[in-house]
Amino acid sequence: MRRVTATVFSSLWILAAQQPPPDPALPRFQSTSQLVIEVVTVNDKNGKPLEGLQAGDFTLTEDGVPQSIRICEFQKLPGPEDAAVEPATRTRNAPAAPGGLRYQNRRLLVLYFDMSAMPPPDQLRAFAAARKFLTSRMTPADLVAVMEFAGGAVKLLHDFTDDRDQLAATLNQLVAASQGLDENAGDESSPDTGSAFGQNDSEFNIFNTDRQLSALQTAAKMLGALNERKSLIYFASGLRLNGADNRAQLRATLNAAIRANVAFFPLDARGLVAQAPAGDAAQGSPGGAGLYTGGAAMATMNNLQRSQDTLYALASDTGGKALFDYNDLSMGIVQAQKAASSYYILGYYPANAALDGKFRRIKISLREFPSAKLDYRQGYFAGKEFAKFTAADKERQLEDALMLGDPITDLTIAMEVNYFQLNRAEYYVPVVMKIPGSELVLARKGGAERTVIDFIGEIKDEYGTTIQNLRDKVNIKLSGETAAELARRHIQYDTGYTLLPGAYTIKVLARDNETGRIGTYLSQFTIPNLNKETQRVPISSVVLSSQRIDLREALYTAGKDQAQISNPLVQEGQKLIPSVTRVFSRSREMYVYLQAYEPSAASVQPLVAYVTFYRGPAKAFETPPLTATEALNNRLKTVPLKFGIALAKLPPGRYTCQVTVLDPKARKAAFWQAPILLAR
């Protein structure tokens, strides 16, 4: 199992990079409206749909106040005997226009596989049930989409289509694998593994359940781009709440599904379970007296019941149905298929436009046909302004944004990731993010100007497993002089990790806590195994900078000074600030820093390095050769290479910066290149 070390430290700085302030003379026009969509099933006394109704036939009130119905569309869903349906194939889900319908008279089914909540045998059973439905029970009126929650992200594998071959090919690409989120109930039914005491299992269970519910919430919001009714078939091996800790997330998930007109149809992928009193071969035997008193068997049955109770709550509160203790899981999809009958889509703009997050009660009736039966949602929670968010709302917003596949670009953010070898196995990875100060909002509190930035992120390996997390909240208090300069400067945040060689993906979100604006940065990076480098001189990544700042000037620092010793960018009480954008002023000096390693040499061998600037194919400037003969006192024989380059003699423009490192004795070399821009 891959071993990683926690974040070493983090700090925040205001940099002197110039940023032109926005023009206050430009006018801004902004308008917002809230369209509420209601899905209403209208049947006569015989249970058959009533057709031909218009908006004037309905009476709709919100909190007792009559509302004007602006949209009234009838969706006629044919039965299995009706085959006259136009084909529809799509590859990506584009949002419908307000009140518009993208899939007219079609039944929308979503096959959602929660890979984190199913062991491999249950995953295979779920895949087989989905294939059976596609081949034998899918009707011409059905449009099916495939979604997956794996590796901490919700993915739309295939959008709504009636092409069975494409859907089957998508299912064939799903691979059954353990996701590492198996829960341990922490009671008498828990296996006795003989491991040392660690963190309470219940804490991990709370986190896992919140992630699974939050993923369902994200899926519902993704489907909310369509105004039609959607049925989400949720394949999972149970979902157990842990006391009252997960209720807030459960409520948020249900609210998101109701607002998006999504009905959950959970299917227990375990099927009909005949459990042995002491557990089966899938887990270790429980320990303690409960094995002999029947307490372990009773706890096992209670856990099974509780895991199904949560699935039942998801179904009943969203208008779906749950399938338990049945081995033919495809029958659960058929349940969702039969539950979706013809319905009306009503839309209105509420008279109460306040975004207060309160519950709005809806009542719909028919002016005629008093014997008709109407089925619709009884209300919804209004939207909420960011200024009225609670701490739980703000945390949930960040978690939801982190799991979205598409980035949020309300806030501009740039990032740079470097690596330096610490020992034969580990590498220190400094991560630097830059945010324009003009995009942050200052608030006055306690007599001082302040701005608050939230950071959340994760690092995943090449298999999609999250191996490191970032969660930080920076509360910056500024003096009057510094606050006035914020609009013309950048804020730079940095943190660091210790990782092993490999390919990684890093995703970081930054949020202005005054306005709620979020910026996302997603990047892939690779840490090479320099121990296997035999043809070239092993070197670290190269850091280009134009600033060195005293550590005491940081606006925010988390961690002790002792922890920053691991950071090679910190030397003699000063920190080298990487230039994320690689734009340099000719009036400032440019610093170049890298490390070379000689682990196989008996003693330190002299290295020669120089920096070259190319403008197109022509050489514009080259530094004198730097001969390095001293190394750090470690087994890698780390040779630091530092350059200070005056840029005043170079004309403004775009250049290619190349760093060359030579080992004359071993006849090896290493090269590094990157584009830069010189400004006046």
Tokens 């001293």 found at:
630
Does 570 fall in a domain? Answer: no
Higher pLDDT, 190 or 13: 13
Q: What is the pLDDT of residues 497-532, one digit of tens each?
A: 999 999 999 999 999 888 888 888 888 999 999 999
Report the candidate in 396, 476, 406 with the shortest Cα–Cα distance to residue 211: 396
Q: State whether 7 and 117 are in the same domain.
A: no
Supply the CATH number for residue 132's domain: 3.40.50.410
Q: Are residues 661 and 607 in the same domain?
A: yes
**What global pTM score does this model have?**
0.63
Share of the chain above pLDDT 70, in %: 78
Strand pairing of 607-615 and 653-663?
antiparallel
Query: Phi and psi dihedrals of 494, rounded to 5?
Result: -135, 150
Determine the pLDDT at residue 275: 66
Same domain flag for 227 and 175: yes
Find, among 245, 238, 392, 214, the residue nearest to 302 by Cα.
238
Q: How much is the average pLDDT of 179-201? A: 43
For residue 324, what pLDDT band results from cuts at 50, 70 and 90?
A: confident
pLDDT at 9 over 50: yes
**Res 421 pLDDT > 80:** yes
Tell me, yes or no, whether 625 lies in a domain: yes
pLDDT at residue 131, rounded to an integer: 93
112-128 confidence digits (pLDDT tens): 999 888 888 889 999 99
**pLDDT confidence of residue 480:** 67
In a domain, 522, yes or no: yes
Q: Which residues of 435-457 are buried (b: 16+ CB within 10 A; e: fewer)?
A: bbbebbebeeeeeebbbbbbbbb
Do 423 and 530 reside in the same domain of the chain? yes
Give CA–CA dist 638/538, Å, rounded: 10
Identify whether residues 534 and 589 lie together within a single domain: no
**DSSP letter, residue 357:** -
Question: Could you tell me if 524 and 436 are in contact, meaning their C-beta atoms sit under 8 angstroms apart?
Answer: no
C-alpha count within 13 angstroms, C-beta hemisphere, residue 70: 12
Same domain, 258 and 132: yes
CATH number of the domain enclosing 536? 2.60.40.3880
Tokens matching residue 312? 């039942």
Read off the pLDDT of residues 280-307 as tens digits, 9 standing for 90 and up: 666 656 655 555 566 666 766 777 777 8
The pLDDT assigned to 619 comes to 93
In this model, does residue 563 exceed pLDDT 60? no
pLDDT class for 444, splitting at 50, 70, 90?
A: low
- Spatial separation of the C-alpha atoms in residues 372 and 40, rounded to whole Å: 12
Residues 165 and 236 in one domain: yes
Residue range 56-84, pLDDT digits in tens: 999 999 999 999 999 898 888 875 444 44
More confident of the two residues 220 and 78: 220
Amino acid identity, position 216: L
Determine, yes or no, domain membership for 388: no
pLDDT at 601 over 90: no
Which residues have C-beta within 8 Å of that of residue 471, sequence separation ≥ 6? 455, 456, 457
The parent domain of residue 663 ranges over 582-680
Residues 252 and 319 placed together within one structural domain of the fold: yes
Sign for the CA dihedral angle at 550, 556, 560, 565 comes to negative
Q: What is the pLDDT of residue 557?
A: 64
Task: Report, as an integer, the average pLDDT of 605-613.
Answer: 94
How many structural domains comprise the chain?
A: 3
The pLDDT of residue 146 is above 90: yes
pLDDT score, position 97: 52
Taking only the tens place, the pLDDT of each residue in 192-206 is 444 333 333 444 445
Assess whether 535 and 592 both reside in one domain: no
